[in-house]
Structure formats: structure tokens, C-alpha cells
Amino acid sequence: MLGLVRWRKPVRSIALLVVASVCAMAVTGVVYAILESHDLSPETGPLAFWVWLFLTVMTVAMFGLTVAAASWTRRAVVAIAGLLTVLCVALTANQWAGFYPDVGRAWSAVIGQSPPNETSLSALRTLRGSPQPDGRTVAIDVPHRISGFEHRTEYVYLPPAWFTGAHPPPLPAIALFGGVINTPLDWAVSGEAITTDRRYAAAHNGFAPILVFVDPSGSFTDDTECVDGPHGNVDTRITREVRPYVVRVFGARPDARGWAAAGWSMGGTCAVDLAVEHPSQFATFLDISGDVGPNLGDHQQTVDRLYGGRGDLWSRFDPRTAIRRHGSYLDSAGWFDDEGHVAGPHRLASSQIAATNALSSVSRAHGIATIVTARPGRHCWPFAAEGFRRAFPWLAHRLLPGSDRAGSALLR
């Protein structure tokens, strides 16, 4: 960056640096504000991320201000420097969010590598009766004639027990939902859900829940909150298209006790909402670091942005309102797991913990059995992966009664 500055004219050079710095501060501030508006806790980001973001914008600004007078050599040097700063931003952002735990998985995402042990729907028939100790992952394309929601490729993980016998046993299923910024495979890669499911299956003669990696957004950044509205009829898609498809095609259990909704961040909010609004379909939920309800800002902003100004849709999908409207629940249960910062002796605090306190009290008052846990940590995928691993024996006990005797080993 400094290679573009002509220090023989110090006044002009300093002026350029000042202008570039102001641009960098402005862009960094805008990024911070955007993250804050989406409740993504920008204050938890590593200092290195903000420093590299600042330097990247400053480099781009300096390049734009001086490129006309610079030699080709200087332009090439600064272009390379700019690419390196962008790489550093990406690395520190991944350090913050924990999307990819190692270089291998990051590279797999770049080249679009398939999930582990992937097979096709047509090939499943040939695998029946043959041992599949690691299970299989299958890409699915669920028709969306009812919801009209344009979705990306979704996936189903089938545990080893699914391949035994002439017909698949009626296994339970867990529908998994990621955060605002997501791909359907995030729970498989960043959340290590398949690894957790495999470990459980290995300790239980191959029996474990089917995992359904749902696309709740249709794109990388569309914040649908899993509701029906201008962003898409996602609730309708999950309950009337995806769930029935998995039951029909893979023989999953159709009853509510055989299904759980689980998610992190936005996905945690989705999980609660599905369970309290559709208890006849999802009797169990796992909410990791979710909000108090679907939102895109404050109440009025949410009504306007998420529901197109329709207050009736807000009432339909707000979890506390839905719980009170439903009344007593007969066989529903949920686990809330949140990150927090130390706010005093033996006390953690965060917006997610506050949301859980509000939701869990209403849930318990209406017959929903709840477990509440809080751990020191950040709003990131490693926290979500650990939360799923910790809650999995409980989930399996809810979904596969009597199969949890060895499940506690997962917590060691």
C-alpha cells in the first residue's frame, strides 16, 4: 500500500493516507453496524479481523486514488498486497465464526467437494443389506409445489441401521438448521453433526437418528427466520414438503415423537418455532444460541421487513404468542443452550441467555419440559458443534427411548 505513495511530495502523500484511512474507518464502521443490526455480536470478533478489514479497505482506497500515476510494477505489488489482505480477512473471519475447522474442509468447500460417503438415491437400493458402518449421505431435491420456495440442494444422512434388513427400520429424524449466513451442509461440516451421529450409532448397534440438512434460506444470506412471508414460505416448505418427503422416501417415523428440530443462531429460533407451532410434527427441539423469536430488528421493523407489514403473521410465528395460543402441551420438550460472557460470580450474560430465560419460563408454564444450559463462549460454529454433541444423548433418548445407556460416553 505504501508503495503507491510518492514520498517526494510529503503533503500530498499524507493527504492521501488520511483520505484512505477515513474510507477504511467508514467501511469498517458500516460492517460493524450491519453485523450488530443482525445481532451477530460484532464486539466478539477478534481484533485481527477488524485490523485486516481496515487495512484491506485502506489498500483498495489507496490503489483507487493513485493508480493513474503509479507504474505497472507498483500496481502489481499493491494488487498482490491487496489479495493477501483479503485472504487475511477471510482467515480471521473463519477464526471468528469457525465455519471450517481445518484447511482440508475449507478447500473442500472451495472446490465444491461432496459430503462424506455420498451416494445417490438410485444407488441406495443396491446398498440394502450390505454393511455401511459409516452410514451414507444422500442429496435430495424435494419438490416445492406447495410452498413455491426456491431452495438449494439439501441432504439426508442415513445411519448404518438404515441399511439392515429387507426394508429400512422406521428411524427417527432430526431436522437441522444453520445461521443467517448458511449453506445446507454447514451442520455436516462446521457443526460436525454426522460425526456425532456416527459415534452414537457405533455405540448402539448402528442405530441413530436420520439427519436432515434443510435449506432454510434459499441463498447464502437471506434471513428468512424459517417463517412464511415475503422472504419465502419456509415454514410451509419444512412442514408440508421436506418432512413428508423424508417420511415417504426414507421410511422415517411419521409421529411427532420421532422428529426433532435442532439449530444454531437463526436455526435455533427456527427449531423452537417449529416445535411450538407444530407440536403434532415436532415434539422435541434443540435451540443453540437462538433469539427470543423470529426478528429482523425491533418489533415494527420485524413486522415490516419479515412479514410484509402483516401483524397477524408476527402473532402466528412469535413463539411465546404461539405457546399461549396453543395452551398446554402434552409431550413436548426442548433444550436451550447459550453462550455468555462472565457477568459476575457464577453468572453468565448475553442476549441469547436473556432470550432463553423468556422462552423457557413460558414453555414450562404450558407443559413443555425444558433443559437450560449456558457456557462461556462465542457465537460461533465450534460452540454450536459442542452444544449438539452435549445434547445428543438427550435427543437420542427422546427419539429412541431405551437406547441411551451408552450415550453418556459422548460427553467424556
DSSP letter at 231? T
What number is the average pLDDT over the span 39-49?
A: 74
Residues ≥6 apart with Cβ < 8 Å to 344? none
**Does the pLDDT at position 227 exceed 70?**
yes
Residues ≥6 apart with Cβ < 8 Å to 59? 1, 78, 81, 82, 85
CA distance 265 to 215: 14
Q: Which residue has the higher pLDDT, 357 or 99?
A: 357
Out of 4-18, 41-55, 382-396, give the one with best mean pLDDT. Answer: 382-396
- Of the candidates 261, 172, 181, the one whose C-alpha atom is nearest the C-alpha of residue 217 is 181
What number is the average pLDDT over the span 165-188?
A: 93
What number is the average pLDDT over the span 377-393?
A: 94
H or E element that contains 81: helix 72-97
**Does the pLDDT at position 120 exceed 90?**
yes
Stretch among 96-105, 194-203, 304-313, 318-327 having the lowest mean pLDDT: 96-105
User: How far lies 191's CA from each of 185, 186, 300, 315, 388, in Å?
Assistant: 9, 6, 33, 31, 8
Residue with cell 473463519: 94
CATH class as words, domain 116-411: alpha beta
What number is the average pLDDT over the span 21-38?
A: 85
Stretch among 164-168, 325-329, 367-371 having the lowest mean pLDDT: 164-168
**Does the pLDDT at position 388 exceed 90?**
yes
What pLDDT was estimated at residue 407? 37
pTM of the model: 0.83
What pLDDT was estimated at residue 408? 39
**Does the pLDDT at position 205 exceed 60?**
yes
CA distance 206 to 162: 8
What pLDDT was estimated at residue 80? 81
User: How far lies 149's CA from each of 66, 228, 242, 283, in Å?
Assistant: 47, 10, 11, 25
CA distance 354 to 339: 11
What pLDDT was estimated at residue 210? 99
CA distance 353 to 332: 21
Question: Do the beta carbons of residue 303 and residue 314 sit within 8 Å?
Answer: yes
What pLDDT was estimated at residue 405? 46
Q: Are strands 232-233 and 228-229 parallel, antiparallel or unpaired?
A: antiparallel
**Does the pLDDT at position 411 exceed 50?**
no
**Does the pLDDT at position 360 exceed 60?**
yes
Stretch among 95-99, 231-235, 259-263 having the lowest mean pLDDT: 95-99
**Does the pLDDT at position 4 exceed 60?**
no
What number is the average pLDDT over the span 138-149?
A: 97
Question: Do the beta carbons of residue 235 and residue 317 sit within 8 Å?
Answer: yes
What pLDDT was estimated at residue 102? 62
Any bridge partners for residue 228, and if so which?
233
pLDDT band at residue 98, thresholds of 50, 70 and 90?
low
For the chain, which residues make up each domain, given as ranges?
A: 2-97, 116-411
What pLDDT was estimated at residue 12? 62
Stretch among 69-73, 137-141, 286-290, 351-355 having the lowest mean pLDDT: 69-73
What pLDDT was estimated at residue 48? 86
Kindly state the greatest CA–CA separation across the chain: 82
pLDDT band at residue 19, thresholds of 50, 70 and 90?
confident
**Does the pLDDT at position 95 exceed 70?**
no
**Does the pLDDT at position 39 exceed 50?**
yes
- DSSP calls for 147-212: T------EEEEE-GGGGSSSS-----EEEEE--SS--TTHHHHTS-HHHHHHHHHHTTTT---EEE
Stretch among 42-46, 93-97, 254-258 having the lowest mean pLDDT: 93-97
